[in-house]
Structure 1
């Protein structure tokens, strides 16, 4: 273990992903700073899972290939403030080893130092007492003649720094916890060391309380993220563009991509501004007040007695902050995902296990997620049931029929019927040129789907909505429109005017925050 090969580096980070996964909920429970911004452990674990996916397809015998997989995977998978910072720590580490044949103990020390410098450089206003502090002190304490000694000494120094974080951040002292991001980073290092030593994965610790429950709910705004390629401006200028929109700002880049994270009350304006300067690949907007409510619910679940459990719980796969907010308001725990972002079986299993209920109903809300939901049900056994919703619209219909006080098996028929009464229309852009049936499609064309069936090509997104509705309207009562992040206020206003004039008997509702990669998601019921 004096020198690490590229294959050993890859194996150590794969194992670190599993190691962090064991402690994910414990890290979530520590999260208090700066506001309850999602789940630190989950966000860091999702970032590491993205690294692992890239490592699984790279050439393990090539250090440049492994380094690129680490940097590229971390950036694409970075979630939340903690995930983006972790991605930059991994980027610095990867860049330090990229041109090496193998990694000596001294070079491993250098890579840990490069990691913390990369992390600090990504944050406009670094705060001490966070993951950055722990990463810096771990690197400063790293020394030894072998990889094992380097990681062991780094962990000792990192743990000493972690124990001091409550003295650096009042919120941590008030809650009586250490920094969640710093703890997560040390679990990554522990996992790397565990891989080298052949240490078995430990059992997941029991979480009995959540630090976030000590803080009152307030209007935190929206945690907004974007991933962009083909940027026409340098990262520094993009950072300047988004700075006026809010705080907790991170704009970073690697391998030709730009990743942004910001807390703002104007997510639509922010994304529209950024989108003018590159190709927007992915966005995520989450209502942090809703997240805080969910954290409190999890805290209550940890302490709830078996005989106090509700009969039924609900888990829904969704994207788009308007849709996720709606599902949460109907009692669902959210698994982030959808078209092009399918969650894993483990993601669904973990979400079900986090719900305090006798049985949990799963809404996959996408035909490509049905199989994963079914596999999750197999793992969970009688604790879970699946309503096979194929679209987000069907999922909303099913969720409206959900009642926590009714046994899950008694809800199934009613939820399935409610789902079948909703027609879903999706307007997006063609990802490639092809011919389907009688329709010729060119890459970039506006396309419209009715309940997952391609029925419209060409024109504007607004034309697609109106045309599909004209063909489907048959006396229904409610029309709901969810515009996506790329839709301008002017376009939305023009569409609503056309809908009100064309469908005078329909009750029209508009909710901001449609799913990523869609111009519009529309439901008719």
Structure 2
């Protein structure tokens, strides 16, 4: 496994890995980021737009093998320009475009720490310049302040790891200060959502540089915890605190994005920016041009006017128009919805992860009784419940609970292990209604693949005679495979489920030396045969009797 502890330069390969790991962390936290979204419009989609934008970059980066940082940043810049969504997504695309501009001027296959920091400065400056009327207290501020502080100490920084740690530290400080710069954030008791997305991206990079893999074990959580912990806000502090008056005050209804292929030489970017700004046909205006591509993002009441005006310079190749009034109404429905999400785990690390995924109530014990569940229902006064059991015994208990509580609308997801629970929670979206969440969570359970690896002695449902020749059992889609060699069994099943479409593999593993040692061999196997597969590891100490659970996300 490549050692990155003492890297003093960045080539294309390291840059690519950092971007991918940062994006995975952003993707994992996008719902938390959505819940902070109050500016410029409280429509709850900042996290979604940012992770969709960055995932476009990941898709393109995985296809290139060139280790030149010039080539990697160019491919990334082009991918983000074309794939960017929403205000923050477009700003991110310009940030990385600026990074490429500086690196391209250097004409070096790898860059040192000072050059890397200079490229970050180019990035934030280009992001600022792309916005016609920049607003402080947003992602722009977090970019600028964190990078400017890093510039001041760049002569003291010895490694890439130290550089990113400092940048992350400064970004968190800047983010916490955003409510003092933007009144709507202070009124809503939140930090800026776009800034939170950038901080989450940096967090993923720091985790990678610390451990060579993006994981969520106890050691890392102590170093870099969830958004709630390091920003000092709770799940109750989010954009749902925006009242109906804010919906009525939306001046421009349509979030409009167009990409044009410019064919005429008489198009002047600065003149067009000035024209649209002076005509007051909208706000949140970003107009950018790269080679023969022109992209516009604007909130307006006249998307047709924008379209017809720019069509005179070329042809439309991509468009998106969203009614922000309707988006906000849908997002605000969560205020009236009284439904509650309940999971069960006694493992401290898993509880932290479930909290990050916005579970309302986490039962801190294994196999709770019916009386325990009934107490929770009365205490929380929730009529609509979604319960995710973590084993078959708890599932049977909850089925009895449902039968004994006809007044309450209890929906049970048939999750029999912690991997299935985690899998279902990845599809949970607090701004969607009860039935839609149920559908999406069930769909995720059915779509993704799960393998459980157990000691044969702990496979309580098998009638297979225990002997040394069948020491371990793997369960996949109710089919059982036995082997005395743990590594051989794991490799056999992984080969069975992984294909060319597979992108993410989450490995839950039990905390003991034997399992950890085998895990290293499993990682080596995956890196050798499935280089494009991104791996997330989650350690647990108390949950169930499994040795490993492998969750393959087809995404």
TM-score (norm 2): 0.56
Partner of 1:357: 434
Establish whether residue 235 from structure 1 lines up as the match of residue 276 from structure 2. no
- Aligned partner of 1:246 among 282, 292, 307: 282
Contact 1:224 1:286 in 2 (8 A): yes
Inter-partner Cα distance in structure 2 for 1:256 and 1:37 = 32
1:163-182 equivalences under 5 Å are 163-182=176-195
Partner of 1:211: 239
Establish whether residue 190 from structure 1 lines up as the match of residue 203 from structure 2. yes
Deviates more, 1:279-288 or 1:216-225: 216-225
Partner of 1:140: 148
Shift of 1:191: 1.9
Give SS of 1:279's match: strand
1:36-75 equivalences under 5 Å are 36-37=42-43, 39-75=45-81
1:351-500 equivalences under 5 Å are 355-358=432-435, 376=444, 378-379=446-447
Inter-partner Cα distance in structure 1 for 2:319 and 2:284 = 17
User: 1:45/1:305 Cα in 2 relative to 1: closer, same or farther (>3 Å)?
Assistant: closer
- Aligned partner of 1:200 among 206, 214, 217: 214
Partner of 2:318: 282
Deviates more, 1:181-190 or 1:290-299: 290-299
CA deviations 1:358-401 (Å, max 9, x no partner) are: 566879xxxxxxxxx997562379xxxxxxxxxxxxxxxxxxxx
User: 1:65/1:305 Cα in 2 relative to 1: closer, same or farther (>3 Å)?
Assistant: closer
User: 1:349/1:160 Cα in 2 relative to 1: closer, same or farther (>3 Å)?
Assistant: closer
Inter-partner Cα distance in structure 2 for 1:226 and 1:159 = 33
- Aligned partner of 1:27 among 26, 33, 44: 33
Runs of 5+ unmatched residues, structure 2: 1-6, 229-234, 343-381, 387-422, 450-555
TM-score (norm 1): 0.59
Q: How many residues align?
A: 338
- Aligned partner of 1:10 among 1, 8, 16: 16
Partner of 1:82: 88
Shift of 1:36: 1.8
Shift of 1:223: 0.6
Inter-partner Cα distance in structure 2 for 1:171 and 1:283 = 30
- Bigger RCO of structures 1 and 2 (CA < 8 A, at least 6 apart): 2
Partner of 1:291: 327
Give SS of 2:136's match: coil
Contact 1:124 1:250 in 2 (8 A): yes
Shift of 1:303: 5.9
User: 1:26/1:352 Cα in 2 relative to 1: closer, same or farther (>3 Å)?
Assistant: closer
Inter-partner Cα distance in structure 2 for 1:211 and 1:4 = 38
Establish whether residue 222 from structure 1 lines up as the match of residue 254 from structure 2. yes
Partner of 2:115: 107
Inter-partner Cα distance in structure 1 for 2:328 and 2:256 = 15
Q: Which has the larger radius of gyration?
A: 2
Shift of 1:59: 3.4
1:120-139 equivalences under 5 Å are 120-139=128-147
Shift of 1:6: 0.7
Inter-partner Cα distance in structure 2 for 1:118 and 1:347 = 39
- Aligned partner of 1:261 among 297, 303, 320: 297
Shift of 1:153: 1.2
Shift of 1:196: 2.4
Give SS of 1:60's match: coil
Contact 2:339 2:383 in 1 (8 A): no
Contact 1:31 1:39 in 2 (8 A): yes
User: 1:41/1:283 Cα in 2 relative to 1: closer, same or farther (>3 Å)?
Assistant: same
Give SS of 1:72's match: helix
Runs of 5+ unmatched residues, structure 1: 312-345, 364-372, 382-525
Contact 1:166 1:172 in 2 (8 A): yes
Deviates more, 1:177-186 or 1:252-261: 252-261
